[in-house]
Structure 1
Amino acid sequence: MKRVITYGTFDLFHEGHRRLLERARNLGEYLIVGVTTEGYDDSRGKLNVRESLIKRIEHVKESGLADEIIIEEYEGQKINDIQKHSIDIFAIGSDWKGKFDYLNEYCTVVYLERTKGISSSQIRAASNGVIRMGVVGYGRIANRFVPEARFVSGVNIEGVFGPSVSKMENFIKHHQLSFADKDFNSFLHKVDAIYIASPHLSHYEYTMKALEQQKHVLCEKPMVLRRHEAEKLFSVAKQNGCLLLEGIKTAYAPGFNRMIALAKSGAIGDIKSIEATFTKLAEENSRELKRDSAGGSISELASYPLLAVVKLLGEKYIEFDQFSYIDSITGIDLFNKINIRYKDAIATVKVALGVKSEGDLVISGTKGYVYVPAPWWKTEYFETRFENPTNNRKYYQAFAGEGLRYELSEFVSLVQRDLLSTYKLSESDSIWIADVIEKLREGKCRKLI
């Protein structure tokens, strides 16, 4: 008798889950299904799981497809399960292709192709509101986003929109999506929400059209580059009862939020200074260095340190000055040092695409300081340091994958709860960031060096 095993969270059990179990069962005569625990899901960065372990086991049992159900509790358990249960075939969805090749030492590994032809309405109706999501764009960030979405329960990435048919076809083939559409209105009709990862200057138009069609929008940073555009988009979102969320992943990361809360708690006294640096060396001829694509270190990177500034010191600054290194040929800002002065504090922000520096964050207070090493925008470790080093403390918090799952998880959770805002990145936060970026890009305080 050929024995087959497969694993999954099986949250909000839907037709896609059923089809996967059916195909796994057809590979042999006896099917064992492993259902992940909440603890294991947390450890591997699976977010927004809505149903309890007992409920998810019940769904698998009710399908009538499992001969035996086991619980997956820890990393590495699959090897032990395969040997313990004398498994012949390990089956898993093809979106994990290559991830479990190491199990070929113990049994045959089969990657099951994504089932085509399952309608979005089937999935949505069967799963208590799984969000059908489409992706605008097929570049570097979009290619990171789709795999990250596997770790967020309650959402299904359906298809992609963009101007290039060939690039879209490659994208849906690589990520096993259901459709590609070159017509934006047609694209919108097939989804409940969209994720925008297209070039900066297209964000406003795509976001506005989606909101007018009452679609929820998660838009990558910078959402827009002008204050009035941000204000208009949020206004339309409210009028249409839609969620509009800016995708600054750091804002939703658990480590960053823990660090901000500690810094503002008074543990280091009154905050008097923030020094936040984010630099990278952009590749020659990349979009980041093109003027007609709104490239430059401010538009590409400033959202992150400005997020830290507004969260720690608020919106009411007095003035700022700006020192920049501008490429004489392209006119692109390759380095910026910005001092933002508040009544009782000052924030220094450094961003660069052509100058490399230590990417750390230092929050100085009257009692001590918080130190977050590079890359601080992926906060998973930070320290509080004091005059007496015996009072120093170290803090650890996991940062899973690329971090895009955190912004998507927050987005999905808000939609599911019919909420249109979050304290992690509020409307006023996004508008403030857009306002400062606009002023910095205009260079009214810029001194060329």
Structure 2
Amino acid sequence: MRGFPAALPTSRIPDSSSAPAISWGIAGPGWIAERFTESVQAHTHQRITAVGSRSAERAAAFARTYGIATSHGSYAELAADPEVDIVYVATPHPQHFEVAMTAIEAGKHVLVEKPMGITGEQVRLLAEAAAECGVFAAEALWTFFLPKFDVIDQLLEAGVLGEIVSVFAEYGEYFEPGHRIFDPALAGGPLLDLGTYPLAFVNRVLGVPDTVAAIGSPHPSGVNGQLSAVLGFGSGAQGTVNTNLYNFTPTEAVIVGTEATLRIDGLFNMPGGFTLRHSDGRELRYEEPAGAHFEGLHFEAAAVARAITAGLKQAPQRSLADSITTLDLADEIRARTGISFPDTITASRE
């Protein structure tokens, strides 16, 4: 497809309802687990058979709400449940490592909400453990499982944009006071909650940067309030990222090439459209109904079920190497901006 195409390629993502059913356990009955469960139950034939929490009452309430057969009062009990094939880890992200490791060591596959850990080293340890135990492990960065990103991948693979010279991505959002994003003890601030999306997007398009420059500013709560990073690559390409927790931004993403530019509508990380524009003014438009978690989370569940059924140990849409790359970059940005997170496990486990 060298040169500007006459038409956009078609997404190769199958209907989620056609994916083989496996049995899921939900670890952490919070907001994202609610959205995941609603989307999966509405759009797939996956079986959500159990839910676990540190609070038996919360787990039982979640189970009642969503018609789930079994609830557990600990993550260890959930991991030991023989009716569970895979644990979807939806706890606050400082708990991702321990909860995912507990499931892996119990022989369960895992799909871990983004970010998969709070350091690159944590994800390395999870990847090593999954390989040793022979189980599937992936990060639930749902954006890259959406149909539009399959179309974008095809355009990039075909070289339609020419040489990529710049990638811009940003994500800002308003949060009510008291939200966990303002809690330093929960690794708060926008870097992991929101910044994972633009950082992962730049990594996906351009790879690993050679140079990183970053600035940040504090929020009165004690977390970082806003940061910007400029990433330099050996090809001469540059990536620019901004994220903040003060208010909503367009949340767009743009890939600039020597032949064409691809602009993804905001919110770029959710279902929606994009425009491919040639340097001579020709345009092609990809239309996908705009939506949010209900319309999109089922794609990752279906893709994971297909991968596990096929005997794969990682998700092609989001490899563990890619998850490590993004968190390594977040680690470097934290070092350059003075952002500190709670103590983390980075070398071994007792």
What TM-score does the superposition give when structure 2 sets the normalisation length? 0.87
Q: 1:130 to 1:370 in 2, by over 3 A?
A: closer
> 1:47 and 2:32 equivalent?
no
Partner in structure 2 of residue 405 of structure 1: 298
- What one-letter code is carried by the residue in structure 1 that aligns with 2:33? A
Q: How does 1:120-269 map to 2 (within 5 A)?
A: 130-151=21-42, 153=44, 155-190=46-81, 191-269=84-162
Displacement of 1:147 in angstroms is 1.3
CA RMSD, aligned part only? 2.0
Q: Is the 8 A contact 2:173 2:244 kept in 1?
A: yes
Partner in structure 1 of residue 237 of structure 2: 345
Q: How does 1:95-106 map to 2 (within 5 A)?
A: none
Aligned partners of 1:230, 1:420: CA distance in 2, in Å? 15
Displacement of 1:296 in angstroms is 0.7
Report % sequence identity: 25
Displacement of 1:242 in angstroms is 0.3
Q: Is the 8 A contact 1:152 1:408 kept in 2?
A: no
Displacement of 1:234 in angstroms is 0.5
Partner in structure 2 of residue 298 of structure 1: 191
Q: How does 1:433-448 map to 2 (within 5 A)?
A: 433-444=326-337
Q: Is the 8 A contact 2:146 2:296 kept in 1?
A: yes
Displacement of 1:244 in angstroms is 0.4
- What one-letter code is carried by the residue in structure 2 that aligns with 1:217? V
Displacement of 1:373 in angstroms is 1.5
> 1:373 and 2:265 equivalent?
yes
- What one-letter code is carried by the residue in structure 2 that aligns with 1:138? P
Displacement of 1:259 in angstroms is 1.5
Partner in structure 2 of residue 322 of structure 1: 214
Displacement of 1:386 in angstroms is 2.5
Alignment deviations for residues 414-446 of structure 1 (CA, whole Å, 9 cap, x no partner): 111111123311121011011112222333578
Partner in structure 1 of residue 342 of structure 2: none
Q: Is the 8 A contact 1:268 1:366 kept in 2?
A: yes
Q: Is the 8 A contact 1:321 1:445 kept in 2?
A: no
Equivalent in 392, 411, 426 of residue 319 of structure 2: 426
Partner in structure 1 of residue 225 of structure 2: 334
Equivalent in 203, 206, 215 of residue 313 of structure 1: 206
Partner in structure 2 of residue 54 of structure 1: none
Displacement of 1:166 in angstroms is 2.5
Ranges in structure 2 where 5+ consecutive residues have no aligned partner = 1-10, 340-350
Aligned partners of 2:218, 2:106: CA distance in 1, in Å? 41
Partner in structure 1 of residue 347 of structure 2: none
Partner in structure 1 of residue 8 of structure 2: none
Ranges in structure 1 where 5+ consecutive residues have no aligned partner = 1-41, 51-128
Q: Is the 8 A contact 2:27 2:75 kept in 1?
A: no
Q: Is the 8 A contact 1:321 1:338 kept in 2?
A: yes
Q: 1:219 to 1:399 in 2, by over 3 A?
A: farther
Aligned partners of 1:442, 1:254: CA distance in 2, in Å? 35
Q: Is the 8 A contact 1:152 1:409 kept in 2?
A: no
Displacement of 1:260 in angstroms is 3.1
Displacement of 1:355 in angstroms is 4.0
Aligned partners of 2:115, 2:98: CA distance in 1, in Å? 14
Displacement of 1:265 in angstroms is 2.3
> 1:360 and 2:264 equivalent?
no
Displacement of 1:380 in angstroms is 2.4
- What one-letter code is carried by the residue in structure 1 that aligns with 2:256? S
Secondary structure of the residue that 1:362 maps to in structure 2?
Answer: strand
Aligned partners of 1:416, 1:338: CA distance in 2, in Å? 39
Alignment deviations for residues 134-169 of structure 1 (CA, whole Å, 9 cap, x no partner): 101111101111111124545210121112232222
- Structure with the bigger RCO (C-alpha within 8 Å, sep 6+) is 2
> 1:393 and 2:279 equivalent?
no
Displacement of 1:368 in angstroms is 2.0
Q: 1:243 to 1:354 in 2, by over 3 A?
A: same
Aligned partners of 1:148, 1:154: CA distance in 2, in Å? 11
Q: Is the 8 A contact 2:216 2:337 kept in 1?
A: no
Alignment deviations for residues 95-140 of structure 1 (CA, whole Å, 9 cap, x no partner): xxxxxxxxxxxxxxxxxxxxxxxxxxxxxxxxxx842211011111
Name whichever of 395-404 and 286-295 sits farther off. Answer: 395-404
Secondary structure of the residue that 1:403 maps to in structure 2?
Answer: helix
Secondary structure of the residue that 1:370 maps to in structure 2?
Answer: strand
Q: Is the 8 A contact 1:251 1:307 kept in 2?
A: no
Aligned partners of 1:371, 1:365: CA distance in 2, in Å? 11
Q: Is the 8 A contact 2:182 2:222 kept in 1?
A: no
